[in-house]
Amino acid sequence: MNLEESISADNRKIIESFKTPIQIQAFLDSIPYSPEDANRCPRRVLEDRQAHCLDGGLFAAAALRRLGFPPVIIDMLPTPGRDDDHVLAIFQQNKRWGAIAKSNYVGLRFREAVYRSKRELVMSYFEAFFNNLWEKTLRGFTVPFDLSKLDHMNWETDDNAADVIEERLKHLRFTALLTPEMEKGLSKVDKRFYDGNTLGIDPKGVYKVKG
């Protein structure tokens, strides 16, 4: 059963209303961030009207597919033990890369398709990728994962497939972004930037690092 067959008529109208990537992002921004550990497939995101970053990435990939884009995600990786990873659904227009994402943080969401490479796209998130101690924690990103390879698992409609995807992401080859020397020289996020990027945040969904 495909996504359209598994959802209500009202939810089909939502999927069919998306004509551009920013409209997909607007939908994700309109629903609450989920602080739960459980993963949701795109069908359940529509039904529950909430999502965390993996849920949102899968939903965005499914919606982008219906606009003619491949359903591809990448995972941005933090300093181990200092932050959560963050999933992006990526797309390419006019030979430039953009992204859609669900995040508890203001600065980790949509990117216009203006970046020349996937690395350049990921680096646009660097300053806004920080933890509760105001440390900048982005350190790498995975190779793209084409979700169409898991169509046989019904990843658009089955939560179990979302769990499999979460595990697969942990084993993908990744690109490091910083040298040890760069890491040592990093400053912390300043207060105004921190305050602006945590506007409307759900404290229950914050990765908490002890000082």
Q: Which two tokens stand for residue 60?
A: 């965005």
Asked if residue 158 belongs to a domain, the reply is yes
Residues 153 and 146: beta-carbon distance below 8 Å: no
Residue 131 lies in a domain: yes
For 60, 108, 156, 160, 201, the CA distances from 101, given in Å and listed in that order, are 7, 7, 16, 21, 15
Task: Tell me whether residue 31 is in a domain.
Answer: yes
Domain contains 210: no
Tokens of 93: 């227009």
Q: Does any domain span residue 27?
A: yes
Q: Please state the domain count of the chain.
A: 1
Q: Is residue 73 part of a domain?
A: yes
Each residue's pLDDT, cut to its tens digit, for the chain (211 residues) gives 799 999 999 999 999 999 999 999 999 999 999 999 899 999 999 999 999 999 999 999 999 999 999 999 999 999 999 999 999 999 999 999 999 999 999 999 999 999 999 999 999 999 999 999 999 999 999 999 999 999 999 999 999 999 999 999 999 999 999 999 999 999 999 999 999 999 999 999 999 998 7
Task: Name which of 128, 123, 90 is nearest 108 in CA terms.
Answer: 128
pLDDT score recorded for residue 1: 74
155 belongs to a structural domain: yes
The amino acid that residue 195 corresponds to is D
The answer to the question of residue 49 being in a domain is yes
101 and 53 Cβ atoms separated by less than 8 Å? yes
Distance of alpha carbon 201 from alpha carbon 192, whole angstroms? 15
CB 57 within 8 A of CB 101: yes
Check residue 47 and give its pLDDT.
Answer: 97
> Which residues span the domain enclosing 168?
3-200
Which residues 6+ apart lie within 8 Å of 51 measured at CB? 28, 31, 33, 34, 40, 45, 59, 102
Whether this model's pTM surpasses 0.95: yes
